[in-house]
Amino acid sequence: MQVKKYIANDMQEAVRMIKEDLGSRAVILSTRKVRKGSGAFGLFGKYVLEVTAAKDEEKQKPAPKNFDGLANRQTGYAQSSASEPPSPPEPKREPMRTAGPTAYAGLQEDISELKDLVSDLRKGVRREVSDEANVGHLRYEIHELKQLVGQLVNQSGELRKDDLHENLIALYQQLCFNGVEEKFARKLAEEVQKKVPKEEIDNFSYVKIYLARMFMQVLKIDAEPTKKDSKFSPKVLTFLGPTGVGKTTTLAKIASAEKMRNPKLKIGLLTIDTYRIAAVAQLQEYARIIKVPCKVVNEPGQLQGVIEEFRDMDLILIDTAGRSQRDEMQMGELRDFFKSYDEFKNILVLSSTTKDADLVEITKRFSTVPLSGVIFTKLDESTNYGSVFNHAIRFKLPLTYLTTGQNVPDDIEPASRERLIDLLLNISGEVADLKV
């Protein structure tokens, strides 16, 4: 099997390069984003795709079914001394073929070959290897091959079922690679294939923009959560969430940005975070810098009185202690504070670095307090933003702000559909060029 790596600006260019070099039967073994150049750090800097592809060579005579032959033929490692076992293979992610009968037949060949390899490696472990380090290495290799076989089996079924156009397969793979849940990515690709004009299906740029604009339609955005509602005075925002997501810093960024935008705006800060020793001092310092009043509330019964003191304010921002979503006592205390205040706008603050399954659990537990929106923080610490989209699709909560660092008030921006799509597809303004 001939294996090569390609650097491209997008999946369309990568597919074209691979086809020209290796032919239409080439297999994409893995893709990953890498930064282009070595300039200063920038969250939204340009990424390029590094794509690894392979092409089957002509059939060779079967290698002897022993460990040495397998090491030479299959693993591709340089032979080393017995005291220096070869390094584990680099994990391969998301193998993909272009849909169609030829691709399906090729996948079946790959599956058969890999199954034979797993069987032979097992025999090699039992028959010829006694060194404990080598046994551990071979077990690791067998585990990796099992995973690859499973991926190929699953993918062969999906390709036959969906029969997606190759442009949509490339985009589907890009969405999954960036962390979008497989069922969401597949559903979106299927909808695009149904709706995109037939004469445009071969135009990769058109299909990509069409998909992006359809994705934008499922995102809810509230870019002005601080805008005063005529029904209530003042506007009250509470910031809820687990520990360590940056609630206090985010609150300070919003207060500072609003004060800079409108110096006459009356803002009051409250904190009910009396768990952390430095929490009150931190918020009071922020309040001193931007010259706004700050109050501390120790128990639910005090909250109404402080709200009355701030009745002439335009905006009240309430900081809360980080809560473990699994601590029922802490969650009960949170509900006690806010159960009588339906007019409050409760914003859930989440980190973009949190695992997808944990985001689901956190949101479900915090939903016992009615939620009005979501802020995602620490985008500068992540290169995979699919969890943001998975969350938006599952819970349909409006996205309000995105934060990209610790600097107050600079590293925050109102959420927008264009920015979110750019994070996912690196589309850089192209969305506006086509109306769907």
Point out the least confidently predicted range of 62-66, 120-124, 313-317, 369-373.
Answer: 62-66
- Please give the structure tokens belonging to residue 282: 């931190």
Q: Tell me, what's the pLDDT at 126?
A: 54
pLDDT tens, residue by residue, 13-28: 888 888 888 887 777 7
* Closest among 312, 304, 282, 302 to 294, alpha carbons compared: 282
Q: Can you tell me whether residue 50 is helix, strand or coil?
A: strand
Rounded mean pLDDT of 327-342?
76
pLDDT at 413 over 50: yes
Q: Average of pLDDT values for 142-157? A: 55
For the chain, give the percent of residues with pLDDT over 70: 66
What distance in Å separates the CA atoms of residue 214 and residue 285, rounded to the nearest whole number? 44
* pLDDT of residue 360 exceeding 90: yes
Q: What is the mean pLDDT of residues 41-57?
A: 66
Q: Is 411 exposed, middle or buried (0-12, 13-18, 19+ CB in 10 A)?
A: buried
pLDDT tens per residue across span 206-245? 999 999 988 888 899 987 888 876 565 788 999 999 988 9
Please report which confidence band the pLDDT of residue 144 belongs to, taking 50, 70 and 90 as the band edges: low
**Which DSSP helix (H) or strand (E) runs through 79?**
none
The region that residue 428 occupies, defined by phi over 0 for left and psi between -120 and 50 for alpha, beta otherwise, is left
What's the whole-model pTM score? 0.63
> Which domains are seen in the chain, by residue range?
2-187 (no CATH), 235-415 (3.40.50.300)
Q: Rounded CA gap, 373 and 393, in Å?
A: 13
Per residue in 251-263, pLDDT (tens digit) is: 999 999 999 999 9
